Structure 1
């Protein structure tokens, strides 16, 4: 699905929404269309090219949880690119093991939107 969306819309980005009108869903946008804030955390990349962001307050809640963005049949969120495709992105999660959590606790702090160039791509 991300390949199809990238072919249609160009470079992409994700932001894990924190609620409100779109619930708590991973939202897919053309890169740069969603303005990443200084308190957004870069979680990682899909296919090494699509940044995935989350608000810092929400990140603190999910910090010890592995998040996987998946796609399932259904109606997507109104602002996310997959909406017209008949699918929606969801997050699947699992709590990290004690060993994984220890490695994460010793890792450098995550990058915030204010310090990362892809925030403005």
Structure 2
């Protein structure tokens, strides 16, 4: 056993950390209206597991080298540390929220399938 906890040989996987933030009124382009985003959070550390397929990333820094990191298996867009995220109370779509800018949609699996079918501009009216 190491003295005072120094030099531990067991490597633990890094813990994902998020902090809740107050909900806010944001424009949802899927609903085409301003909606309350009551579920909102700030990502503090990189994601170590994909929320869609459950794949664990042994080296998250490799995944986060890209401009917009995505899961190598299912292409789910991953949240980046230091950014705010929220889920629309109207339709359940997830957005990256930046103060003073339009929110950026992080498409879920169904939305990504429709975007691949119809093109990158997604609309619920197809």
TM-score, L = length of structure 1 = 0.23
TM-score for the superposition, normalised by structure 2: 0.23
Pair member with larger Rg:
2
Q: Which structure is higher in helix share?
A: 1
**Larger proportion of strand:** 1
Select the structure with the greater relative contact order (CA < 8 A; seq sep ≥ 6).
1
